[in-house]
A and B are shown apart, each in its own frame.
Chain A
Amino acid sequence: MSEALKQSLDLALFWEYRAVLLSGLLFNAGIFACAGLAALVLGLAAALLRLSSARPLRWIGTVYVELFRNAPDYVMLVWVHFVLPLLLGLALRTRIEFHPFLSAVVALGLVYSGYFAETFRAGIQSIPKGNIEAGRAVGMSEALILRRITLPQVVRRMLPEGLNIFISLFKATTIVSLIAVPDLMYRVSMVTQQEMQPLPLYTGAALTYFAIILVVATLLRWAGDRWSRSVLA
């Protein structure tokens, strides 16, 4: 076995720095949770706009979805972190800087809300109209129908697609080191500069991400599958 390959498989160095490196993972998890929540809320709002009966609202929804769904994660991240504060600063005549964590949450939240919006929209449209009419017929308000009749069914139907979006979002959190959020990748780069041993460090990071995503995704798919099958026989 070549020396380089042996080195890359010897993860002792990664293990040595485990506390520093894995605490970086907390940033990934934090950004994932905040951006995921923002993406869900904004995505639902955008989907409702796209399904509105008022044409101007539909247009706003469509522009929103197309804008963010078609923006690359990286470009969006850089734009939100470096350009948006400048624009806001000019508008408000003051100096504005975004904390890298905030920029990451905003950028990823916006991009993934575009994906969620389309999933929500397809889900809402797939609910038979009769379900909604039955709600109206017993005097339920439109908001109550959305909360009690439509969304519970939509969530079950969009579960597989929604999980995929969440997994993509988690993967996307690994690019936040580019705007200096001290996540796992950022810390790996720092340690690499000190130790001059990129192979075990980057390989350790890759395996860590792989293991986490595999385990979490498998568990979620299994739980989601069981849950939706128990209810929609």
Chain B
Amino acid sequence: MTEPPCIRVVDVHKKFGPLEVLKGVSFDVHRANVVTMIGASGSGKSTLLRCINYLEVPTAGAIFIDGESLGFREDRTGRRTPRPLREINRMRRDLGVVFQQFNLWPHMTVLGNIIEAPIRVLGMSRKDALQVAGECLQRVRLSDKANEYPARLSGGQQQRAAIARALAMSPKVLLFDEPTSSLDPELTDEVLNVMRELAEAGTTMIVVTHEIGFAREVSDRVLFLHDGSIDEDGHPDQVFTAPRSERCRQFLAKYLK
């Protein structure tokens, strides 16, 4: 039997009132792969990412993590019952999220941000959590800022701290929601470099981004979303040089100008 995909997204729909933001999206992400999602604002790519760890609950469809459904349990007869929040929380530990606005907790130091969930959620000892945090800070090259409060860091440093916080939970997959979109242009590289290294180290990643160059260089697969559906799906060489969809071609033309 082949290994189930790390993440399987099956026919996910999402409605906000009468507005249908996702119109049936399906794809798999395999271990150690980097999948990037590109598309215009409002195409649904951030909503899709948030549906993957149930920050938004899909209106229909299912998310599977290592073959296990996130939103519901299925018994032997195939009957589905919704999972209690407690179980969803447990499964969310496997999905690290890096947000566009960093979302560091301002009342804790960088170190405090990183060890919080390992101690309180995983039940790790403080000593072990500090060791894990030290390793994570080294990976994002922020060891010297461990005892600073987030407000005293630059945007790029804050985002790297947020990456370290996500890494400290040893997630199976890292989800990035436009991680460089609220950074000044000169600060994006320090974040992209960290992400590049994570990808090279075999981290499974789903990245929503407008950084076309990064997507082209790092991804194993690129999804182009348009109006709530996947409009183009393929290897970056193919998507960026010979897109089959006309809308994807137009979108790229704007970005690669």
Interface size on A, residues (CB 8 A): 22
Interface string of A6-30 (1 = CB under 8 A from B): 0000000000000000000000000
Given contacts A130-B101, A233-B151, contact A138 B117 (CB under 8 A): yes
CB-contact partner of A137 in B95, B102, B105, B107, under 8 A: B95
Task: Give the distance to chain B from A146, nearest Cβ to Cβ, in Å.
Answer: 12
* A137 and B97 contacting across the interface, CB-CB below 8 Å: yes
Q: With the chains together, A142 CA to B84 CA distance in Å?
A: 13
Given contacts A133-B55, A134-B105, contact A139 B116 (CB under 8 A): no
Task: Assess whether A168 is interfacial by the CB under 8 Å rule.
Answer: no
CB-contact partner of B105 in A136, A144, A149, A156, under 8 A: A149
Task: Give the distance to chain A from B127, nearest Cβ to Cβ, in Å.
Answer: 20
* B93 and A139 contacting across the interface, CB-CB below 8 Å: yes
Task: Assess whether A231 is interfacial by the CB under 8 Å rule.
Answer: yes
Task: Assess whether B147 is interfacial by the CB under 8 Å rule.
Answer: no
Task: Assess whether A152 is interfacial by the CB under 8 Å rule.
Answer: yes
| A231 nearest in chain B by CB position | B107
Task: Assess whether B169 is interfacial by the CB under 8 Å rule.
Answer: yes
Q: With the chains together, A137 CA to B86 CA distance in Å?
A: 13
Residues in B neighbouring A141, C-beta threshold 8 A: 85-86, 89
Task: Give the distance to chain A from B184, nearest Cβ to Cβ, in Å.
Answer: 19
Residues in B neighbouring A149, C-beta threshold 8 A: 105
- Spell out B's residues near A (CB within 8 Å): 53, 55, 85-86, 89-93, 95-97, 99, 101-107, 116-117, 120-121, 149, 151-152, 162, 165-166, 169
Residues in B neighbouring A136, C-beta threshold 8 A: 55, 89, 92
Task: Assess whether A62 is interfacial by the CB under 8 Å rule.
Answer: no
- What would 18 A/B residue contacts be, using CB atoms closer than 8 Å? A130-B103, A133-B97, A134-B99, A134-B104, A135-B105, A136-B55, A136-B92, A137-B53, A137-B92, A137-B95, A138-B117, A139-B117, A140-B89, A140-B120, A149-B105, A153-B105, A153-B107, A231-B149
Task: Assess whether A221 is interfacial by the CB under 8 Å rule.
Answer: no
Residues in A neighbouring B121, C-beta threshold 8 A: 138-140, 144
Residues in A neighbouring B117, C-beta threshold 8 A: 138-140
* A134 and B107 contacting across the interface, CB-CB below 8 Å: no
Task: Assess whether A131 is interfacial by the CB under 8 Å rule.
Answer: yes
Q: With the chains together, A153 CA to B116 CA distance in Å?
A: 15
Q: With the chains together, A137 CA to B93 CA distance in Å?
A: 7
* A232 and B151 contacting across the interface, CB-CB below 8 Å: yes
Interface string of A152-169 (1 = CB under 8 A from B): 110010000000000000
Task: Give the distance to chain B from A151, nearest Cβ to Cβ, in Å.
Answer: 10
| B152 nearest in chain A by CB position | A233
CB-contact partner of B107 in A130, A144, A232, under 8 A: A232
* B169 and A138 contacting across the interface, CB-CB below 8 Å: yes
Task: Assess whether A148 is interfacial by the CB under 8 Å rule.
Answer: yes
| B92 nearest in chain A by CB position | A139
Interface string of A212-233 (1 = CB under 8 A from B): 0000000000000000000111
CB-contact partner of B103 in A134, A148, A153, under 8 A: A134
Which residues, 166 to 201 on A, are CB-close (under 8 Å) to B?
Answer: none
A139-B90, A139-B169 known; 7 new pairs, CB 8 Å cut-off, are A137-B53, A138-B96, A139-B91, A139-B117, A149-B105, A153-B106, A231-B149
Which residues, 88 to 132 on A, are CB-close (under 8 Å) to B?
Answer: 128, 130-131
Q: With the chains together, A133 CA to B105 CA distance in Å?
A: 11
Residues in B neighbouring A153, C-beta threshold 8 A: 105-107
Residues in A neighbouring B152, C-beta threshold 8 A: 233
CB-contact partner of B116 in A128, A148, A231, under 8 A: A148
Q: With the chains together, A153 CA to B95 CA distance in Å?
A: 26
| A152 nearest in chain B by CB position | B107
Q: With the chains together, A136 CA to B91 CA distance in Å?
A: 11
CB-contact partner of B97 in A131, A134, A140, A144, under 8 A: A134
Q: With the chains together, A149 CA to B165 CA distance in Å?
A: 15
Q: With the chains together, A137 CA to B151 CA distance in Å?
A: 21
Q: With the chains together, A231 CA to B105 CA distance in Å?
A: 11
